[in-house]
């Protein structure tokens, strides 16, 4: 019926891609009834258009939130109890709030820089219509090619190891459900299963994938909280907090890493129909991250205390149960979602290097992407140190790529007044405040995150290599009886 068709159109219009909305408008204008949508026939909405509107095209602010949450919340759910054992309750939660706020601030800076870069590229018209802007390109456009190259180096390495971590986490998680294979053997399997990720075109098509990521982490967080509270505290549980500077700053840089997912936020903005709204989606994503991670990390640390210092994966201490197995499977699914999100910018950069980025033949691009996955797989086998590797990434990669570089870039363009918006004299007080806040964020992360955090995380990482060795078969596995 016409009324049913009209209701369907209204319900899907908000999520429909621009090309569908434009097509409808043009059709209506041609027929001379542009203001009348009630006569729309069901036949205009064929199966393909419905699929695109509901499933395939994800450019709304809600899709941005889905993607941001799926990228933000991941294996950190399992490592934050370990982090609390290194830092204690108060400092652990306090640093989560602090670094979450830092993340929101630098995403806001990146949204300002992205708007300027996007405006300049549209004005010059020198980019192919299929070209997807990336983080390093935005920095290069607004701050110069050398800034762009430095950003490229930091961000590509950071995203590579973020993907490495997801594969390591998969093998670590499943081992606590089935220990017949060691973690390296599981990693052979999960690395091979990562290869099909080359088939997902872009982040614009991640709606269902990201929804799966949110559902799985939410389920896991609820399970961890309930399981820890039901189990209660172990005998002679202790909560001593930081026993050394190495432990404290290793934990702090793990949190820095936890809130450093915005290395792919430019690609997420490019996937949106209204990129300027991404900063709001990211703030909502951080708040949801607090909602998930604070209760479960506090509950697990309360129940198991300082034994978590020797168990960086929370699944290692939680009792065996069917629900635990469900949570493990859920986390493995999520880690594949996080892998696909983090690897996409690597695919794009690799395509550009090979000159295939704007190719209309997706099969060629998919084949070009395979070596990227193989390199990640090899690195995961070489350094399977789930937990300590997070701190190293936080100190040496995340600190620069998503905290220091945006802050320094903004300070540079402010000093040289290179942003178009800065020509408005009435806005000068706002830009000055932003300059001061950016300087404080950049200085804090450089001293505490990179300086002290780098020293502590490398000390801890070296201890892991000395204790277990590279290409370890089963990192932190308990001896079998």
How far is it, in rounded angstroms, from Cα 9 to Cα 179? 51
- Does 326 map to a domain? yes
Closest CA to 357 of 171, 134, 23: 134
Give me the residue label for tokens 């620069």.
Answer: 400
pLDDT on residue 247 = 87
Ordered DSSP codes for 49-102:
HHHIIIII---SHHHHHHHHHHHHSSTHHHHHHHHHHHH-HHHHHHHHHHHHHH
Q: Tell me the Cα Rg of the chain.
A: 23
Burial 288-307 (b: 16+ CB within 10 A, else e): bbeebbbbbbbbbbbbbbee
pLDDT in tens, 230-247: 999 999 899 988 888 988
CA trace torsion 282, 283, 287, 292 (10° rounding) = 10
How far is it, in rounded angstroms, from Cα 311 to Cα 477? 9
- Does 297 map to a domain? yes
pLDDT on residue 387 = 59
In residues, how long is the chain? 481
How far is it, in rounded angstroms, from Cα 305 to Cα 168? 24
Closest CA to 332 of 157, 176, 156: 176
Domain count, the chain: 1
pLDDT on residue 48 = 65
- Does 18 map to a domain? no
Given a contact cutoff of 8 angstroms between Cβ atoms, the answer to whether 132 and 350 are in contact is: no
Q: How many C-beta atoms lie closer than 10 Å to residue 163's C-beta?
A: 28
- Does 377 map to a domain? yes
pLDDT on residue 458 = 84
Ordered DSSP codes for 121-189:
HHHHT-S-TTPPP-HHHHHHHHH-HHHHHHHHHHHHHHHHHHHHHHHHHHHHHHHTT--SS-HHHHHHH
- Does 112 map to a domain? yes
What does each of the 481 residues of the chain score in pLDDT, given as a tens digit?
A: 444 343 334 334 434 444 434 333 333 443 444 444 444 445 555 776 665 666 666 778 998 999 899 888 776 788 899 999 999 999 999 999 999 999 999 999 999 999 988 888 887 766 667 788 899 999 999 998 999 999 999 999 989 988 998 898 888 888 888 878 887 888 899 999 999 989 888 777 788 888 899 999 999 999 999 999 999 999 989 998 888 898 899 889 889 888 887 788 898 898 888 999 999 999 999 999 999 999 999 999 999 999 998 888 888 899 999 999 999 999 999 989 989 989 999 999 999 998 888 777 888 899 999 999 999 999 988 877 665 677 777 788 889 989 999 999 999 988 877 776 666 666 678 888 999 999 999 999 999 999 999 998 888 777 766 555 555 555 555 555 4
Predicted TM-score (pTM) of this structure:
0.82
- Does 20 map to a domain? no
- Does 401 map to a domain? yes
- Does 319 map to a domain? yes
- Domain extent, residue 245, equals 58-468
Given a contact cutoff of 8 angstroms between Cβ atoms, the answer to whether 227 and 323 are in contact is: yes
- Looking up residue 171, the CATH number of its domain turns out to be 1.20.1740.10
């Amino acid at each position: 019926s016409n009324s049913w068709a009209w209701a369907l159109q209204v319900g899907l219009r908000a999520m429909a891609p621009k090309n569908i909305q434009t097509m409808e408008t043009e059709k209506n204008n041609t027929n001379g009834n542009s203001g009348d949508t009630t006569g729309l026939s069901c036949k205009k909405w064929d199966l393909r258009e419905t699929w695109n509107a509901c499933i395939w095209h994800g450019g709304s602010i809600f899709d941005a939130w889905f993607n941001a949450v799926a990228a933000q919340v991941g294996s950190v759910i399992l490592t934050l109890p370990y982090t609390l054992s290194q830092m204690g309750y108060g400092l652990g939660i306090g640093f989560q709030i602090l670094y979450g706020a830092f993340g929101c601030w630098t995403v806001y800076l990146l949204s300002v820089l992205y708007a300027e870069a996007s405006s300049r590229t549209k004005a010059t018209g020198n980019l192919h219509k299929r070209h997807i802007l990336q983080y390093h390109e935005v920095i290069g456009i607004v701050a110069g090619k050398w800034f762009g190259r430095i950003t490229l180096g930091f961000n590509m390495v950071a995203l590579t190891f973020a993907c490495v971590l997801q594969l390591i986490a998969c093998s670590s998680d499943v081992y606590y459900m089935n220990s017949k294979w060691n973690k390296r053997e599981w990693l052979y399997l999960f690395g091979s299963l990562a290869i099909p990720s080359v088939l997902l075109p872009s982040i614009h098509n991640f709606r269902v994938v990201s929804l799966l990521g949110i559902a799985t982490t939410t389920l896991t967080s609820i399970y961890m909280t309930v399981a820890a509270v039901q189990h209660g505290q172990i005998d002679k549980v202790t909560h001593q907090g930081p026993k050394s500077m190495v432990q404290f700053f290793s934990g702090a840089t793990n949190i820095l890493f936890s809130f450093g997912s915005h290395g792919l936020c430019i690609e997420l903005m490019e996937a949106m129909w209204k990129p300027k709204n991404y900063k709001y989606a990211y703030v909502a994503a951080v708040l949801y991250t607090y909602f998930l991670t604070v209760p479960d990390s506090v509950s697990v640390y309360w129940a198991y205390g300082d034994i978590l210092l020797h168990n960086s994966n929370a699944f290692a201490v939680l009792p065996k149960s069917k629900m635990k197995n469900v949570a493990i499977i859920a986390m493995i699914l999520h880690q594949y979602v996080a892998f696909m999100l983090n690897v996409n910018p690597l695919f794009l950069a690799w395509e550009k290097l090979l000159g295939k980025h704007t190719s209309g033949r997706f099969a060629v691009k998919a084949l070009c992407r395979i070596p990227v996955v193989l390199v990640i797989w090899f690195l995961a086998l070489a350094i399977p140190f789930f937990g300590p590797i997070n701190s190293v990434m936080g100190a040496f990669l995340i600190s620069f790529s998503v905290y220091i570089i945006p802050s320094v870039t903004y300070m540079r363009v402010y000093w040289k007044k290179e942003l178009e918006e800065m020509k408005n004299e009435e806005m000068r007080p706002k830009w000055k405040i932003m300059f001061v806040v950016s300087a404080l964020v950049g200085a804090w992360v450089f001293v505490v995150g990179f300086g002290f955090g780098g020293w502590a995380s490398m000390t801890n990482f070296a201890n892991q290599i000395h204790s277990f060795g590279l290409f370890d078969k089963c990192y932190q596995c308990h001896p079998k009886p």
